[in-house]
């Protein structure tokens, strides 16, 4: 078997060491100027992150491809219909990085509420706390969670010690799933209107693209904080910028963006009330090792003809 591994999957030796020694494995996939098409030629298995777009063009070019192994939960970067058309199995690792992503969402919420970028800039200017605008306390506030899947549920669990009022919006989750964490399932508009902090954890689909846009920002409180650790396109970035510029919301904590990597001249970087991180919410050692172990086990079982749990096999809608 010939396999290629996205260099974004680290530690790469944990992945390569878990595969049969007889395999021909290379590490490193570039995207631009036809490099991706060249990289997948003659390859039977590709290990990728969301950084690598497995489009129909790429899939059709990779004539020997049998397995797409996508690290993590989201599979919006893989054309599942094209994969099915060409008999390619797509496997991923839903849920294995959920706790790390949930922790990062909470981190962004706290950093935004306590105005950490502003606090740092005060020190950099040689000033001190008398220049600091008062922050917001997360405890005893109202938090809304948009998307109540693996990550959203863990966000609710982590917030249990903050004595917050919890709302969530997810049309595909039964109310009993929210009851365990004391979360009230309600509509998107009701969740947005009630919340001091809105945390977006929804999966990116056609239905959720642009889910939070201009109308939704108008619904939110003018001092509310938006946190997005889902996928960039779930939030309309133009509408977000408009909301920030007009002070329609209080700030934002962002780990994902419509364009990635986020350009260094992005207008989002101009706001001191916006905390930005480079799509690293899932990147803790524990979750990365766990997801690599699960992904390599999935691939080995697929190659051997052994059963893989349905949750780890992605199919087109």
Q: How high is the mean pLDDT of the chain?
A: 96
Separation of alpha carbons 63 and 251, rounded Å: 47
pTM of the model: 0.94
The contacts of residue 66 (CB under 8 Å, 6+ apart) are 44, 45, 87, 88, 89
Backbone angles phi, psi at 22, to 5 degrees: -80, -10
What per-residue confidence (pLDDT) applies to 31?
86
Measure the CA–CA gap between 5 and 48, rounded to whole angstroms.
6
Residue 19 pairs in a beta bridge with: none
Based on the residue annotation, tell me whether 279 is a catalytic residue of this protein.
yes
Q: Is 289 a catalytic residue?
A: no
Q: Mark whether 96 is an active-site residue.
A: no
Query: What is the CB neighbour count within 10 angstroms for residue 308?
Result: 15
Each residue's pLDDT tens digit, 97-147 = 999 999 999 999 999 999 999 999 999 999 999 999 999 999 999 999 999
Q: How far apart are CA 158 and CA 143, in angstroms?
A: 12
Q: Give the other-Cβ count within 10 Å of 43's Cβ.
A: 20
Per residue in 145-185, pLDDT tens?
999 999 999 999 999 999 999 999 999 999 898 998 999 99
The single residue of 30, 260, 285, 311 carrying the catalytic annotation is: 260
Q: Which of 92, 96, 115, 279 is catalytic?
A: 279
At the top level of CATH, the class of 98-276 is alpha beta
Q: Minimal CA–CA distance to 62: which of 48, 83, 76, 84?
A: 83
Fold exhibited by the domain 2-96+285-314: Rossmann fold (3.40.50)
H or E element at residue 25: strand 24-27
Backbone angles phi, psi at 198, to 5 degrees: -115, 120
Per annotation, catalytic residue among 92, 96, 154, 231:
231
Asked if residue 111 lies in contact with residue 251, where contact means CB atoms within 8 angstroms, the answer is no
Question: What residues does CATH 3.40.50.720 cover in the chain?
Answer: 2-96+285-314, 98-276
**Alpha carbon separation from 32 to 36, 44, 169 (Å, rounded):** 7, 21, 38
pLDDT band at 317 (very low <50, low <70, confident <90, very high): confident
What confidence score (pLDDT) does residue 316 get?
85
């Amino acid at each position: 078997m010939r396999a290629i591994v996205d260099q974004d999957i680290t530690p790469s030796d944990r992945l390569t060491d878990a595969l049969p020694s007889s395999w021909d494995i290379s590490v490193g996939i570039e995207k631009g100027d036809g490099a991706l098409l060249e990289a997948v030629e003659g390859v039977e298995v590709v290990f990728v992150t969301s950084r690598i777009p497995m489009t129909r063009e790429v899939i059709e070019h990779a004539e020997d491809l049998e397995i797409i192994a996508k690290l993590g939960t989201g599979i919006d970067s893989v054309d599942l219909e094209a994969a099915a058309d060409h008999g390619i199995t797509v496997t991923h690792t839903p849920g294995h990085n959920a706790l790390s992503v949930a922790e990062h969402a909470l981190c962004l919420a706290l950093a935004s509420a306590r105005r950490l970028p502003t606090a740092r800039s005060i020190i950099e200017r040689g000033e001190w706390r008398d220049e600091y605008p008062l922050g917001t306390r997360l405890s005893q506030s109202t938090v809304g969670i948009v998307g109540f899947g693996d990550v959203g549920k863990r966000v609710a669990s982590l917030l249990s010690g903050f004595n917050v009022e919890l709302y969530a919006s997810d049309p595909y989750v039964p109310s009993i799933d929210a009851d365990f964490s004391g979360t009230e399932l309600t509509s998107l508009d009701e969740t947005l209107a009630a919340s001091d902090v809105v945390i977006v954890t929804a999966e990116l689909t056609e239905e959720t693209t642009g889910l939070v846009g201009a109308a939704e920002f108008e619904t939110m409180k003018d001092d509310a904080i938006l946190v997005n650790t889902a996928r960039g396109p779930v939030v309309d970035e133009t509408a977000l910028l408009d909301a920030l510029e007009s002070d329609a919301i209080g700030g934002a904590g962002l780990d994902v963006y419509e364009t990635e990597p986020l350009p260094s001249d992005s207008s989002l970087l101009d706001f001191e009330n916006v905390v930005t991180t480079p799509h690293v919410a899932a990147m803790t050692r524990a979750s990365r090792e766990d997801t690599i172990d699960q992904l390599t086990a999935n691939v080995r079982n697929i190659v051997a003809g052994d059963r893989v749990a349905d949750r780890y096999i992605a199919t087109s809608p």
